[in-house]
């Protein structure tokens, strides 16, 4: 994984944390501090590769996938969650159909 990909993963991970965080400044968040500490701890030098760094990259991508999936689930759940009995028009609009005009 190149330096650019690592930074991109870190930014995307922090962006997802921003969605779930209740703190005003992410810089004050213990979670963000821990993630930054881990990224700095396993930072790669030019001639050094270590297995722990590969594990850190895998964990970061796994957490990112989990957070994105969790956010998308909440969006879908809120959009389609049963709100009691729906009218025929609401159901048709939800699935993208149009009802025929009533000539009465």
Tokens of 10: 């870190």
Interatomic CA distance for residues 28 and 32, integer angstroms: 8
Q: Provide the domain limits for residue 64.
A: 3-82
Q: Does residue 104 sit within a domain?
A: no
Q: Quick check: 84 and 92 in contact, CB under 8 A?
A: no
Alpha carbon of residue 21 to chain centroid: 12
Residue 53: inside a domain: yes
Q: Residue 71's pLDDT is what?
A: 93
Is 95 inside any structural domain? no
Q: Tens digits of per-residue pLDDT, 4-15?
A: 888 888 899 988
Provide the 10 A C-beta neighbour count for residue 13.
20
Is residue 75 included in any domain, yes or no? yes
Looking at the chain, how many residues does it have? 104
The string of pLDDT tens digits covering residues 37-53 is 888 887 765 555 667 77
Inside any domain, residue 90:
no
46 found inside a domain: yes
Q: Are 67 and 16 in contact (CB under 8 A)?
A: yes
Q: How many domains does the chain have?
A: 1
28 within domain boundaries: yes
């Amino acid at each position: 994984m190149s330096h650019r990909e690592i930074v991109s993963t870190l930014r995307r991970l922090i962006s997802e944390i921003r969605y779930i965080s209740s703190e005003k400044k992410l810089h004050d968040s213990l979670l963000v501090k821990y993630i930054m500490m881990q990224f700095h701890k396993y930072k790669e030098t030019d001639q050094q590769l270590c297995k722990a760094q590969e594990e850190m990259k895998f964990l970061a991508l796994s957490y990112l996938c989990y957070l994105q999936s969790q956010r998308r689930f909440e969006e879908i759940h809120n959009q389609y969650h049963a709100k009691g009995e729906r009218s025929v028009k609401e159901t048709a609009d939800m699935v993208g159909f149009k009802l025929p005009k009533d000539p009465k």
